[in-house]
Every structure is written in C-alpha cells, then in structure tokens.
C-alpha cells in the first residue's frame, strides 16, 4: 500500500464547525505537517484546490525544499487555466523537485464557485474540455510542438522549452463518479480516485473504470480517499468521532447541506445522499461513519475504530484493487503521527525513497527567447 496524507490548506482544528481548538494554518504549520509526513514514510500529500483553499501550486512550491522524499499531489483545473501554462508549471515543478510531482485533474463540481472563476461550462462540457486539455497536455509533455483546434481548447505552435526529464507527464490522478468522468479516466489517467463509499459501491465504480480502460488497451491504478479516526480501543475512537462534531448544530448541518445541494458533481451528490440515508446511524458499513459529511464537502466518510479493525477495513478495500490511500484526520499534524504509530505496523506500507538527482546539463540563454544556443 502507498499511504498519502492531506494538507489542510482550508483550515484545521480539533473540532468541526467552530474556531475552538483551531490551528493557525500558515506556512510554518504547513511545513511542520509536510516534514512530519516526509519523515514518517507517507508516499505523498494531497494539496487541495478550490476557492476555500490557499493556492495549491504556491503552497507545494514553498514546501518542496523542506522535504526530501514526499510527493505532492497538486491540482490542475482544465476549464480554468491555459493548458500550456499549466503544463509549464507542472514541468518546472517536476524538474526542480527531482520528479516528486503528481497531478490531480479537477474538473470542478460547484457551479457557483466556477462562475466566480469565470467558468460557465456544464458538467458534460467540462469533461469534454478536460479530454481536449489532456490530449494537448500529453503531447506537450512529450516535447512536441502542438497545434490543436478543439471545441474548448485551441493552441497554435504550443511547446515546452523545458519539458520534464524523461519527456513524459507526471502521473495523472482524477476523482470522478459520472459516466463522463469514468470515460476520461479510462482514456488519460494513471490513478483513478474514489471517496470511501461502501465497499460494494466502490467495487462497482472500479469495475466500470477498469472495463473502459481495458477496452482502450490501458490499465488504471486505483486510489481511495478516506478520513481516519483510530484510537487504541474502539470505544475511544467512537468517542473521538462524536467529539469532532460536538459543536455542529442542526442549523449548521442544514446550512452546509444547502450549499452542497447546489453541486453538480455526481461524486458529491452520491456522498451527500449517503450521509442523508445514514442519518442517525453510527455505521453504514463496518467501521464506516458519515458524520463528517454533515458539514464537509468532498470525503465525508471516516473509518472509525481500534487499529486492528481499521487496518482490516483498509485491507478489504485493498482487496478490491486499491493500492493507494489518501488519509486524513483532525487535527492533521497530530493525526499524521497517530496513524503512523497505530496503523503502519499493521499494513504493508510502501515507503518512498529519495528520488535520484536528474542529470542536469548546461543550457545557456535562448537567443531571441526561442533559439537554443549550440
């Protein structure tokens, strides 16, 4: 298993729905988390995206030199940025970090947020734009000069003066639950991500994505995004879960659900429905709890329990074909240590090694900003 952690650039604390016990989420705090995760043996760290977060590329770049092995999963939004500029950013990060970049392709799920960013595409159009974006992206990363006239993406003579070492894209990830999202994943993506729904629901999604990829002669790896609340005993874990939402009122939950209802993301709608269907239940599947999803968008489910039980549940997901797990817990610095202490010894954790230094060569300044010197 490759175990990833989550960087809380949208805020962090001991409780949801209150500033009581909240952290100051500044660069020194992010650096503390990144260095802890790097030393503890997590493979990488998800840096989130969206209007509620600090900018992922700026944060990841600031943490690059503070870490040695840690890989950064950073988002690009195909409908919101030039494909050439995004590819240039990614190629530079990949080169300067000695190959520690992973790219999270995020089409967006909140129409209100996207309109604020100047994006007025429907759900179907966003995935069509993503397909065109990734067609150009792969060619740029391979060092080609690209002219492409699509419905959404148009470039003429686009190229990367400094493509990644190896002239290939950093590994691409995507989280998607719609038919259009599965089609894009099967065609372009290296690792397909799903939030932690019940094992039966997750198995059906994996089967669909892999079937589509197989028809195209491709293989796709699978990752799972899940919250973790683990303690030495099950009683302590469930008590911690209830403490986490002790300050969330019914009014808070209704307000949060009203915001989430405006999303056109199929994944978010599935998660929201899962939360509502399980109202009043502790578990919708063994150790799987939806309490966080009452007020949080994205992954609202957590595995709750003692180390042996939580490790067993992760192994059950792994048996479905999942080998990458993006974990998180509140607060994120303390829980990164707790999970490494309690869960790592019970799991076949694959810790990263320090990447080899790339073979840099002298370049000299480009003539007229286009012609490479001899």
SS3 breakdown of the chain: % helix, strand, coil, rounded to 5?
40, 15, 40
pLDDT of 108 reads 86
Percent of the chain with pLDDT over 70: 100
Q: What are the pLDDT digits (tens) for 85-105?
A: 999 999 999 999 999 999 999
pLDDT of 79 reads 86
Whole-prediction pTM: 0.95
Cβ atoms 323, 296 nearer than 8 A: no
Q: What are the pLDDT digits (tens) for 217-251?
A: 999 999 999 999 999 999 999 999 999 999 999 99
pLDDT of 128 reads 96
Q: Which residue has the higher pLDDT, 301 or 369?
A: 301
Q: How far is CA 51 from the centre of its chain?
A: 15
Relative to beta strand 302-305, strand 146-149 is: unpaired
Residue 280 has pLDDT above 80, yes or no: no
Q: What are the pLDDT digits (tens) for 249-258?
A: 999 989 999 9
- List 222's β-bridge partners, or say none: 192
Q: For residue 279, name the pLDDT band (cuts at 50, 70, 90).
A: confident
Q: What is the rounded CA–CA span in Å between residue 299 and residue 289? A: 11
- List 328's β-bridge partners, or say none: 227
Percent of the chain with pLDDT over 90: 84
Quote the strand ranges of the chain, DSSP E: 2-6, 44-46, 71-76, 101-105, 146-149, 154-158, 172-175, 191-195, 221-230, 288-289, 302-305, 324-328
pLDDT of 148 reads 98
pLDDT of 361 reads 81
Residue 362 has pLDDT above 90, yes or no: no
Q: What is the rounded CA–CA span in Å between residue 61 and residue 69? A: 14
Cβ burial, residue 43 (10 Å; 0-12/13-18/19+): buried
Q: What is the mean predicted confidence (pLDDT) over 276-284?
A: 85
| 240 phi-psi bin (left φ>0, alpha ψ -120 to 50, beta other) | alpha
Q: What are the pLDDT digits (tens) for 36-50?
A: 999 999 999 999 999
Say how many C-beta atoms besides its own lie within 10 A of residue 126's C-beta. Answer: 27
Give the DSSP letter of residue 178.
S
Q: For residue 371, name the pLDDT band (cuts at 50, 70, 90).
A: confident
Q: What are the pLDDT digits (tens) for 265-277?
A: 999 999 999 989 8
Q: Which domains does the chain have, with CATH numbers?
A: 2-346 (3.20.20.30)
Q: What are the pLDDT digits (tens) for 74-84?
A: 999 998 899 99
pLDDT of 359 reads 79
pLDDT of 270 reads 93
Tell me which H or E stretch contains 271.
helix 266-277
């Amino acid at each position: 298993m490759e175990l990833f952690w989550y960087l809380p650039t949208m805020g962090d604390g001991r409780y949801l729905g209150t500033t009581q016990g909240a952290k100051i989420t500044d660069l020194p705090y992010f650096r503390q988390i990144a260095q802890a995760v790097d030393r503890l043996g997590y493979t990488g760290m998800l840096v989130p995206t969206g209007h509620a977060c600090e900018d992922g590329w700026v944060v990841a770049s600031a943490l690059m030199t503070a870490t040695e092995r840690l890989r950064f999963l950073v988002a690009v939004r195909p409908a919101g940025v030039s494909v050439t500029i995004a590819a240039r950013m990614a190629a530079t990060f990949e080169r300067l970090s000695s190959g520690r970049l992973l790219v999270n392709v995020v089409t967006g799920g909140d129409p209100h947020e996207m309109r604020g960013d100047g994006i007025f595409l429907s759900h179907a159009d966003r995935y069509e734009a993503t397909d065109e974006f990734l067609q150009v992206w792969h060619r740029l990363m391979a060092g080609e000069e690209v002219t492409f006239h699509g419905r959404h993406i148009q470039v003429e003579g686009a190229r990367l003066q400094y493509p990644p070492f190896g002239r290939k894209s950093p590994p691409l990830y995507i989280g998607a639950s719609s038919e259009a999202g599965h089609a894009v994943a099967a065609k372009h993506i290296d690792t397909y991500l799903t939030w932690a729904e019940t094992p039966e629901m997750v198995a059906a999604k994996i089967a669909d994505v892999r079937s589509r990829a197989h028809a195209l002669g491709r293989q796709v790896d699978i990752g799972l995004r899940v919250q973790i609340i683990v303690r030495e005993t099950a009683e302590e874990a469930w008590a911690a879960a209830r403490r986490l939402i002790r300050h969330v009122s019914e009014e808070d939950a209704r307000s949060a659900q009203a915001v989430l209802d405006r999303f056109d993301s199929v994944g978010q709608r599935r998660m929201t429905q899962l939360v509502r269907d399980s109202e009043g239940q502790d578990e919708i599947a063994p150790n799987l709890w939806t309490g966080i999803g009452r007020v949080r968008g994205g992954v609202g489910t957590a595995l709750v329990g003692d180390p042996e039980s939580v490790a067993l549940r992760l192994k059950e997901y792994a048996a479905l074909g999942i080998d990458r797990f993006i974990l998180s817990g509140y607060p994120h610095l303390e829980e990164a240590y707790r999970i490494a202490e309690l869960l790592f010894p019970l799991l076949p954790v694959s810790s990263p090694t320090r990447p080899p230094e790339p073979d840099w060569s002298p370049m000299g300044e480009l003539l007229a900003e286009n012609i490479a010197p001899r």
